Amino acid sequence: MRFGVIIFPGSNCDHDSYHAAITTTGQQATFLWHESHDLESCDAIIVPGGFAYGDYLRTGAIARFAPIMQEVGKFAASGGLVIGICNGFQILCEAGLLPGALMRNAGLKYICKQVYLRVENAGTPFTNSCSKGEILQIPIGHMEGNYYCDAQVLATLKKQDRIVFRYCTSDGQITSEANPNGSLDNIAGICNGGRNVLGMMPHPDRSSEALLGSADGAKIFKSMAAAMVTAR
């Protein structure tokens, strides 16, 4: 099995994701250039964090038109696993693979710190190594992580159990104080209707081993590997 990690001009977490995918799962990974039309038979795609194309216009607005994203769209439509982390989440929303948008943080400041997430849905290919209600400690690092969608989309996300992570306190309480960026309903991560596309603002790639302060992010990559084995 092999993870594909996309590189855009401005990506700065591509190597983090590559390293985390390999070390947490024992599987292979390869880099995919943004101008390529070839996903190189990868079993899962990681759209990493960073500042794709310098975040000009708005985050993800240019990256969505990259040739590689055309292939990612087809891959996702066929049921392939796709995870967008931080800037990757923004890109997936811009590309229409996930609903909603990521706006500027409520405090209008860049935030980089450890946060707590509550696993709201453990039945996805990205969370099968977790339990519902489990608390994960995973860092954030963003300026535009304030998730927003309209009332109809939010109702659909709730009805279909597509809110995968919410920001919470260390003991799992969903409070405004635990919400670092003003995200609607404390949303930190969502999936598509097919549950094969996940977008999350926190960085599992930066919390994949204890040396980094938390190894909780490893569960995301391990879950993906387990899902790929099952799919085979």
What tens digit of pLDDT does each residue of 178-202 get?
Answer: 999 999 999 999 999 999 999 999 9
Summarised one tens digit per residue, pLDDT across range 147-190 is 999 999 999 999 999 999 999 999 999 999 999 999 999 999 99
Q: Which two tokens stand for residue 188?
A: 């930190």
pLDDT of residue 41: 96
Confidence of residue 232 (pLDDT cuts 50, 70, 90): low
The pTM score is 0.96
pLDDT of residue 229: 81
219 phi, psi to nearest 5 deg: -65, -30
Distance in angstroms (rounded) separating the CA atoms of residues 201 and 98: 13
Distance in angstroms (rounded) separating the CA atoms of residues 28 and 23: 9
Fold of the CATH domain 2-231: Rossmann fold (3.40.50)
Distance in angstroms (rounded) separating the CA atoms of residues 5 and 48: 7
pLDDT of residue 57: 83
Residue 231 pLDDT > 80 = no
pLDDT of residue 164: 98
Strand locations in the chain (E) = 2-7, 28-33, 44-47, 81-85, 101-103, 111-119, 135-142, 146-148, 163-168, 187-191, 197-200
For 107-132, what is the mean pLDDT? 97
Q: Which of 56, 52, 86 is nearest to 68 (CA)?
A: 52
Distance in angstroms (rounded) separating the CA atoms of residues 100 and 151: 11
Summarised one tens digit per residue, pLDDT across range 9-60 is 999 999 999 999 999 999 999 999 999 999 999 999 999 999 999 988 889 9
pLDDT of residue 56: 84
**32 strand-pairing partners:** 6
pLDDT of residue 130: 98
For 213-232, what is the mean pLDDT? 92
